[in-house]
Structure 1
């Protein structure tokens, strides 16, 4: 068996997303908005007629997956390898706190580099575990697979399937909360990107606030400015 289509769905919003704090592998729950985002986005994904659902074990992803499972009747397979990038001592900190406490390393991160900080996973490590998790999930289903995970992990999942370099993957915009990426398997070209940042256009899941767009990657300067303007 092999899936011919993969929908990579990022979890709903958390309080740390709204506050611009690095979550990494901290098990932060969905906030009220995140719950509503999952409930509003789930019918759109259910309409894609998925054949299987696999989720990160972190509760913000699993609770998002439950909204889809409730509509489809599908079981949720749980795989810890789908967790977000581990950010060690940076987890729980805001961008302002990172800039103050780790100025040189934070500047590296803003440039798209991975700082040499113990506890922060390297991109290749995340790609490797996502590749293994996806291979197992894809081998167990025919048709369409929904993968429920995290912002940074979603980027690495796309990279794992397509074989893109870090430089190419960096050009893929971060998924907003409860939005998804679609890839399809070509018999001649392998996995190809068909859609990105898909989701409802109205309601809580419309998700047009850039401050919610990144779990484990640096927000752009204009995103941080907009976040600070909202208080």
Structure 2
């Protein structure tokens, strides 16, 4: 039996628009984000999901709710799907982080662990991967609403990719998704990346 995971980044927020570090701050969707969620939900509903799982942070939970409204499916919430914890960075713009914490910012840009109170990449990858594995046990097509950095690192951990390989993935755009499949013969495979309704300009790695 083949299981399919559609790992879906939440819609736009005011902090996304301002390039402000969200991390685990519970920032809601803005008007654009709600519209993105509703339009993406139309496409995802056509894929006939069997289950919906979401981060408990509002921007992901409300994105998932748009799909639930179309399909009639309930949403299960899993805090392991939360975004990376960015500690003292949260609430700052990326420009402010670069100015106030240049060494940490340089490590982040290089794809390294930041240090301080910022969550380690491997820790984040494992917790999100564990949540994805549990979501997959629901069977069929499962939509998982989460966050940009969490999605990328969790998927990489699931696939057994190195950090160097993971850095080849561009940032996941708001309300775009990744398709993964799993069967007994081939294990986990990446089917599609950054699929969605909206054509957006490239953005910095999501935080």
Indicate the TM-score class for this superposition, using the shorter chain for normalisation. Answer: over 0.9
Question: Which residue number corresponds to residue 156 of structure 1?
Answer: 153
Distance 1:93 1:210 in 2: 21
Extract unaligned runs of 5+ from structure 2.
none
Q: CA RMSD in A?
A: 1.4
Give unmatched runs, 5+ long, in structure 1. 201-205, 217-231
Q: Residues of 2 paired with 1:197 and 1:114: CA distance?
A: 24
Q: 1:185 aligns with which of 176, 182, 187?
A: 182
Query: Equivalents in 2 of 1:34, 1:214: separation in Å?
Result: 18
Q: CA deviation at 1:110?
A: 1.4
Give the structure-1-normalised TM-score: 0.86
| Alignment partner, residue 10 of structure 2 | 11
Return the alpha-carbon distance in structure 1 between the equivalents of residues 125 and 11 of structure 2: 22
Paired residues, number: 207
Q: In the superposition, relative to structure 1, how do residues 209 and 58 fare at CA in structure 2: closer, same or farther (>3 Å)?
A: same
Q: TM-score, normalised by structure 2?
A: 0.95
Does residue 209 of structure 1 match 2:196? no
What is the alpha-carbon distance in structure 1 between the residues aligned to residue 103 and residue 129 of structure 2? 31
Structure 1 segments, 4+ long, off by >3 Å, are: none
Partner of 2:110: 111
Aligned 1:68-79 pairs, distance under 5 A: 68-79=67-78
Q: Deviations 1:90-122 (Å, cap 9, x if unpaired)?
A: 0111121111101122112112212222x2000
Measured against aligned partners, the alpha-carbon deviations of 1:1-22 in whole angstroms (never above 9, x if no partner) come to x761100000000000000011
Question: What are the residue-to-residue correspondences of 1:1-231 with 2, within 5 Å?
Answer: 4-117=3-116, 119-139=117-137, 141-200=138-197, 206-211=198-203, 214-216=205-207
